[in-house]
């Protein structure tokens, strides 16, 4: 869940500039890894309390897997092998472990995974089970075919890769037959609006159909942050091309209890337009 940040800086370097240009998977991965390594501390400091150390929150609306059951009933998770893609500090994986599942939390960023390790170490004192952590790119998963029963991602990896169908195919490969893959991304409609939580974020400012990536680049033109847009139709086609059936598309509504702003997500905008799209997919 990003689209909120000030352009990141490195040491004395000039502030990156925001632009729209093509960025392939190699450049996107390199930028993501660097950005999340540099910004993981601040991200966890700012959002860690809302995410909770062992909650499974699908997005800034606060939809909780404990209530939503998008991966299936919580009691059916026991003993299941689950892959969390783009896990960050592995909060979701930790909730899965508490249900008796066997999660593996995968992320590109070493620093994000350090936060996962920190939270696990703190939880160990009170008997927390800890989760298996793997540093890798979601476009090349380092697992054998058919290693998992379920896969999930709450804003991890998918919005940051140029060719999300590669992630779909990789996830399908590592899932067992009948496996479920549930992933949340920024709702595609948000691309057309300024990333602002207030009224200025309610007027269309860009074409929904313009897929040119959002890129922040340094003085030399090197991307330091990349986010990719796909329309709703593109996402459905990626799911299908990846070998999945789409069984649900969840657009969480903003709940009355949630007063927090998260970047461009806010109660105001949340009451008017969707902020998150969650794709519930199954493989044969």
Q: Which stretches of the chain bind ligand SAM, using CB under 6 A?
A: 1-2, 29, 32, 36, 51, 86, 88, 92, 107-109, 112, 137-139, 154-157, 160-161
Beta-strand ranges (E) seen in 23-158 are: 81-85, 102-107, 132-135, 148-154
Q: How do 17-20 and 214-217 pair as beta strands?
A: antiparallel
> What is the distance between the alpha carbons of residues 44 and 38, in angstroms, rounded to a whole number?
12
Nearest partner of 35 among 170, 183, 212, 222, judged by Cα? 222
**Residue among 1 and 71 whose Cβ is closer to ligand SAM:** 1
**Residue among 10 and 207 whose Cβ is closer to ligand SAM:** 10
CB of 89 to ligand SAM, least distance (A): 6
Distances (CA, A) of 162 to 65, 77, 146, 159: 28, 32, 25, 8
CB of 45 to ligand SAM, least distance (A): 12
**Residue among 10 and 203 whose Cβ is closer to ligand SAM:** 10
CB of 153 to ligand SAM, least distance (A): 7
**Residue among 135 and 212 whose Cβ is closer to ligand SAM:** 135
CB of 40 to ligand SAM, least distance (A): 7
**Residue among 110 and 209 whose Cβ is closer to ligand SAM:** 110
**Residue among 124 and 136 whose Cβ is closer to ligand SAM:** 136
Distances (CA, A) of 78 to 96, 102, 129, 280: 9, 8, 14, 20
Q: In the beta sheet, which residues pair with residue 251?
A: none
**Residue among 86 and 179 whose Cβ is closer to ligand SAM:** 86
Distances (CA, A) of 69 to 66, 77, 96, 116, 182: 6, 10, 12, 23, 11
CB of 167 to ligand SAM, least distance (A): 8
Cα torsion 194, 200, 204, 206: sign = negative
Radius of gyration of the chain (CA): 18
CB of 94 to ligand SAM, least distance (A): 11
**Residue among 80 and 228 whose Cβ is closer to ligand SAM:** 228
Q: What is the 3-state secondary structure (H, E, C) of 201-252?
A: HHCCCCCCCCCCCEEEECCCCCEEEEECCCCHHHHHHHHHHCCEEEEEEECC
> What is the distance between the alpha carbons of residues 58 and 92, in angstroms, rounded to a whole number?
9
> What is the distance between the alpha carbons of residues 156 and 171, in angstroms, rounded to a whole number?
13
CB of 177 to ligand SAM, least distance (A): 24
CB of 284 to ligand SAM, least distance (A): 25
């Amino acid at each position: 869940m990003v689209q909120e940040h000030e352009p990141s800086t490195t040491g004395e370097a000039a502030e990156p500039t925001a632009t729209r240009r093509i960025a392939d998977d190699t450049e996107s991965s390199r930028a993501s890894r660097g950005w999340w390594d540099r910004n993981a501390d601040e991200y966890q400091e700012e959002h860690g309390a809302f995410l909770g150390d062992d909650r499974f929150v699908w997005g800034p609306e606060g939809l909780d897997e404990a209530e939503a059951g998008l991966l299936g009933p919580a009691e059916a998770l026991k003993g299941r092998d689950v892959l969390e893609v783009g896990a960050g500090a592995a909060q979701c994986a930790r909730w899965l472990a508490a249900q008796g599942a066997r999660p593996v939390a995968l992320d590109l960023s070493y620093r994000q995974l350090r936060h996962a390790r920190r939270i696990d170490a703190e939880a160990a004192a009170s008997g927390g089970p800890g989760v298996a952590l793997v540093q890798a790119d979601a476009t090349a998963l380092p697992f054998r075919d058919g290693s998992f029963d379920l896969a999930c991602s709450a804003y991890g990896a998918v919005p940051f890769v140029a060719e999300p169908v590669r992630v779909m195919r990789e996830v399908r490969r590592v899932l067992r037959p009948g496996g479920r893959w549930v992933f949340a991304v920024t709702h595609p409609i948000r691309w057309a609006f300024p990333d602002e939580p207030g009224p200025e974020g309610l007027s269309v400012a860009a074409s929904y159909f313009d897929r040119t990536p959002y890129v922040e680049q340094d003085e030399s033109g090197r991307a330091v942050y990349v986010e990719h847009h796909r329309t709703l139709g593109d996402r459905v086609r990626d799911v299908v091309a990846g070998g999945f059936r789409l069984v649900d598309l969840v657009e969480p509504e903003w709940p009355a209890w949630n007063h927090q702003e998260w970047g461009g997500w806010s109660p105001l905008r949340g009451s008017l337009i969707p902020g998150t799209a969650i794709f519930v997919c199954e493989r044969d």
